[in-house]
Amino acid sequence: MDSTLKFQLRLTVSPEFADALRADSSGAAHAGLRQILHRHNATVNCQYDAFADYVSEAERLGIEKYPLYQWTRETIENPEKKAKYLRSFTIYVNGEQIYDKQVADAMETELLELADANGTQSGIERVSKFDTNPANSPQPPGH
């Protein structure tokens, strides 16, 4: 495996838990998640909020500098996609949205155990891991 690859973890959570995570990215509303995030110096960021921030920044600084502006704006304005992305959270470690495999693997194991141990009661519906290999990831639309 290519050792230069970086990884990212994302959580899909219940709508109720999503509201709590959006209000406090440390995971304070869920003791188990808060402990895992704290142990790895991590926080969560709602993907919808990140998209909305991107659109807002582009509109403030000039959309011509933001190649994904139109796609991102259409995404957050689509009610079905908005509902999806309001429940999707990217995990940042040490303030970074991509990190080494060892960190991603360790956190993924802990998060999967937490989700499995508590079933649907945890509010964590899915844990996903992505890498930076373009062949494994959907690519942004052309502009």
Can you tell me the distance from the alpha carbon of 83 to that of 85, in angstroms, rounded to the nearest whole number?
6
Residue ranges of the domains in the chain? 27-125
Three-state DSSP class for residue 94? coil
Residue of higher predicted confidence among 120 and 135: 135
pLDDT band for position 4 (50/70/90)? confident
- pLDDT at position 65, please? 94
Residues 83-92: tens digit of each pLDDT: 999 999 999 9
Which residue(s) pair with 90 in the sheet? 10, 45
pTM of the model: 0.88
Q: How far is CA 52 from CA 28, 63, 89, 121, in A?
A: 23, 13, 14, 29
Q: How far is CA 120 from CA 3, 49, 115, 138, in A?
A: 35, 24, 7, 28
